[in-house]
Chain A
Amino acid sequence: MEQKMIEMQGLTKHYGSKIAVNGLNLSICQGEIFGLLGPNGAGKTTTILMLLGLTEPTAGRAFIEGLDCTRNPVAVKSIAGYMPDNIGFYPDLTGRQNLRFTGRLNGLAESVIEQRIEQLLERVGMKEYGDQKTGTYSKGMKQRLGIADVLMKDPRVIIMDEPTLGIDPEGMRELLTLMRELSREDGRTLLISSHQLYQIQQICDRVGIFVSGRLIACGKIAELGRQVNQEGGNLDEIYRLYFEKAGQSDENDRNKK
């Protein structure tokens, strides 16, 4: 059995009477790319915030590499990188300055910071834009700089929230290639949340389908297809079927009441 990098045990979050995440049990192994799929407002971002210790779960626990995410957020954040959706940079600073600041925040030595900035800008194809102010960047460029930013602290776990949102097809292909590399070559664990199924399908080892706070299916794409008799079907179809099933059971629940 491979080492478990991320583990959630009955993770639950309530906002007032609204249940954002409901008893989530999930483990993700080292080097895996896991896709967390679900519609908007399904609780994906809330789950990620709990993993990083940025919000407290109402019940349940989460661990990254055995560290409790709620009790020990700083240690968790030192091994896990987070790329939020709508990633922002200080518009008055250049790309390099933004990365340098991130490096300093993480307590890296200055020589390591400079070395990494060059490597990472090269890696994400932003070398020639490194000295431009990030206020002038396009969405795609920000996204690429965002990946460089996450990699500054050399995390073993990378959590990305909607990384594919608003990127053109060419940029998307490059992004997916890069994500695959991060997992296959560097051996990092990736957790990607998205509602864009087609892209996720191409790179994920496993996916979890997440609807209104509950994980209704989890496994390899082919396995999920088999469960709903969609042999070799694409994720879109599988997702739709699951989603309908979930909707029906919700309706049944309501009818019972």
Chain B
Amino acid sequence: MKTIAIKSKAEKMPRTAEKVMHVSGSTGLKALFRKELADHLRSRRFLIILVLIYATCFASLYGALSGFSDAVANDSNFLFLKLYTTSGESIPSFMTFIALLGPFLGLTLGFDAINSERSTGTLNRLVAQTIYRDSIIIGKFLAGGAVILIMVFSMGILIGAVGMLSTGLVPQAEEIGRIFFFLLFTVIYIAFWLALSILFSVFCRHSATSALAVISLWIFFALFMSLIADIIANIVYPVDDYYNSVMNAVSNYTLEQNLNRISPYYLYSEAVSTIMSPSVRSVNVVTVDQLVGAISGYLSLGQSLLLVWPHLVGLIALMLVSFGGSYVGFMRQEIRSS
């Protein structure tokens, strides 16, 4: 490097800073978004999850096709939707798979968003650039969201395409609409898990800790929440003897359901099964009394959406609360090299 002195004298940096620098919020955000998106798409981690999810997606499609004739025999309307909702022997349906594995996708995209940058020492270099600090976390969330959007929609369309080829079914306009809303709900559901894992990545120093924290929440919501809801409902409204079971049955079931709805897993499952099965007419308990005189029929898409409107709002709220938490946490944190 002895020659440095001579070289630098020969070519001075052009003093053009004033001309070329536009300090605006969107410049940094765009650069960050592009980099994060490229990072996600190029990473080995993304490749692994892509293979995993596509494998399960084809397994579920295979299951659906093998159980298809039974499903058709039961009800021969909205056949195309059955590609997504029918479970074969011992293979869950696509809908069930996504509800279970979706969180995993969000988790892998976000669990080390902030803390890995902190530990490699790039975060304090990043915040010293001419950008607003929030563009870092917004850029990360948007890039993860874009990956989720691309993946979910490509997967949903792929299932439809393969299903169309193998069964010869053609979707009706309403079915396409229902599938679109199903995929939209899925994107929001997975984006919630992305936001949650970013939240943990802001507050946990090590990426392993944040990954474990999100995984434990995922398992809790997917497996244990329903047990706990059941126990609590039985304590509050016991149904142990004949008298109690007559008096408390409705309250017991309603409480259990409401407790379950705290879990985003349940909320999502309930919403998409309503959207994907037009025959579902209510998401709450219905008494025999209320059913008297009702004509069995299908709900229109608009009516189905009306039923799950609260679910949509709930999921969006959960997502925004998690993201808001990580936003505030990140903005208030002091970033120094460790």
Contacts and interface: CB of A to CB of B under 8 A. Distances in A.
Interface stretch (A75-83, A218-226, A245-253): A75-83
B20 A91 contact: no
Interface residues of B, number: 45
A86 B13 CA distance: 26
A55 B332 CA distance: 9
Given A88-B121, A89-B122, A124-B1, 15 more contacts: A45-B336, A74-B23, A74-B131, A78-B21, A82-B125, A84-B128, A88-B337, A104-B34, A105-B28, A105-B31, A106-B129, A107-B23, A108-B21, A177-B5, A186-B13
A49 B336 contact: yes
Given A86-B337, A153-B17, A185-B12, A74 B121 contact: no
Contact of B16 (A101, A107, A112): A112
A244 interface: no
B8 A181 contact: yes
Interface string A48-59: 010010110000
Interface stretch (A33-41, A115-123, A208-216): A115-123
Interface in A112-149: 112, 115-116, 119, 122-125, 146, 149
A109 B22 CA distance: 9
Contacts of B121: 84, 86-88
B13 A116 contact: yes
B168 to A, nearest CB: 46
24 contacts: A45-B337, A54-B124, A54-B127, A77-B131, A78-B21, A79-B17, A84-B121, A88-B125, A91-B120, A104-B27, A104-B30, A105-B27, A105-B129, A107-B23, A107-B130, A112-B16, A112-B20, A125-B4, A154-B13, A154-B15, A154-B16, A177-B5, A181-B8, A186-B13
Given A107-B24, A107-B28, A77 B125 contact: no
Interface string B222-255: 0000000000000000000000000000000000
A52 to B, nearest CB: 6
Interface string A86-112: 111111100000000110111111001
A75 B129 contact: no
Given A84-B125, A107-B22, A153 B334 contact: no
**Top 9 closest pairs, chain A to chain B, by CB:** A88-B121, A107-B27, A104-B31, A82-B128, A125-B1, A88-B120, A78-B130, A174-B1, A105-B129
A178 interface: yes
Contact of B8 (A55, A87, A91, A123): A123
A54 B120 contact: no
B170 interface: no
B335 interface: yes
A92 B20 CA distance: 28
A199 B277 CA distance: 74
B126 interface: yes
**Most central of B122, B124, B129 by chain A CB within 10 Å:** B129
A5 interface: no
Contacts of A124: 1, 4
Contacts of A49: 334, 336
A92 B36 CA distance: 12
A146 B125 CA distance: 9
A138 B160 CA distance: 51
Contacts of B21: 78, 106-108, 153
A88 B3 CA distance: 26
Interface of B: 1, 3-5, 7-9, 11-17, 20-24, 27-28, 30-32, 34-35, 39, 42, 120-122, 124-132, 334-338
Contacts of B1: 124-125, 174, 177
A165 to B, nearest CB: 11
A155 B128 CA distance: 12
A85 B24 contact: no
A102 B131 CA distance: 10
A101 to B, nearest CB: 6
B128 A177 contact: no
B129 to A, nearest CB: 4
A54 B332 CA distance: 10
A151 interface: yes
B19 to A, nearest CB: 9
A130 B121 CA distance: 20
A163 B148 CA distance: 41
Nearest to B16: A112
B120 A153 contact: no
Contacts of B128: 52, 54, 77, 81-82, 84
**Most central of B9, B15, B336 by chain A CB within 10 Å:** B336
B334 A123 contact: no
Contacts of A86: 121, 337-338
Contact of B11 (A55, A119, A146): A119
A166 to B, nearest CB: 13
Nearest to B13: A154
Contacts of A77: 128-131
Given A84-B125, A119-B11, A123-B4, A154 B17 contact: yes
Nearest to A75: B23
B129 A119 contact: no
Contact of A74 (B34, B130, B338): B130
A119 B42 CA distance: 29
**Most central of A102, A105, A122, A161 by chain B CB within 10 Å:** A105
Contacts of A89: 120, 122, 125
